[in-house]
Structure 1
Amino acid sequence: MKEVTAAILVKDHSVLIAQRGVNDELAGKWELPGGKIEAGETPEDCLKREIKEELDVDIEVLNFFADSVYKYPNGVIKLMAFWCRWVSGNYHLKVHSQILWAKPWELDLYDFAPADIPLVEKLKEILHE
């Protein structure tokens, strides 16, 4: 099982979502940004590294939010999401085709990667309250 992380960044009651780039296996699908945990890396360290690599911003990883296990054709992944806080930097796209801030009620308008869907559903409930 591959372990993967996802960052939940919230600003003005909106959550940051990212669309996978054209060269990605799930090109065009939306996701909570993050990436694969490397050997010897904690999920928190992974998120800091991945968000810096993918979006060119520094974040602080706060609390664990939830996880999702999904079996893709090429293997099973465990996606672990954490609440995060932007610390510094300006968002620049490096691997995604686009990013945007979506209100909870707008999240249904986007075609999310299968592993992200349970996390997005839970997020909609929490942020909508």
Structure 2
Amino acid sequence: KGGEGLKEAISRAEAAWRAAPSPESMGLPLDILSRVKRYPKAVARRDEALARLETDREPEQDDASLKVPPLTENRFFWGGLGAGVLFMGLSVGLGIVAAQPMWRYLALINIPAFGTAAWMALRYVDDLQHA
């Protein structure tokens, strides 16, 4: 009679063992336990690689975008915009005041003036991309 309680406890333990989740019942790969054991080493290797990247990176590359002067400091950009606005105003103003069609040709100077400003803006964007 003393052994029956022990047999009953053993059968309950076996049933609990069978009911416990296993990698197969959870749909995990069979080598999941070895992967779990390798995980800390993989994380340490990744952290070391990231630390090496940070030390290998040149500090100049971090501030490369700061080396490109802003577009507002480009005198050719402002000169092109100013000349374009000036000749646009002159052609419209003198065309109305003088009422002569010859002054409207002064507006054609806007094309290279605004083109220069646009070219400087595109060059600024290109410098930022290279930086």
Report TM bin, short chain.
Answer: under 0.3
TM-score, with structure 2 as normaliser: 0.19
Name the structure where strand makes up a greater proportion of residues.
1
Larger Rg: 1 or 2?
2
Structure with greater proportional helix content: 2
Tell me the TM-score normalized by structure 1: 0.19
Higher relative contact order (CA 8 A, sep 6+): 1
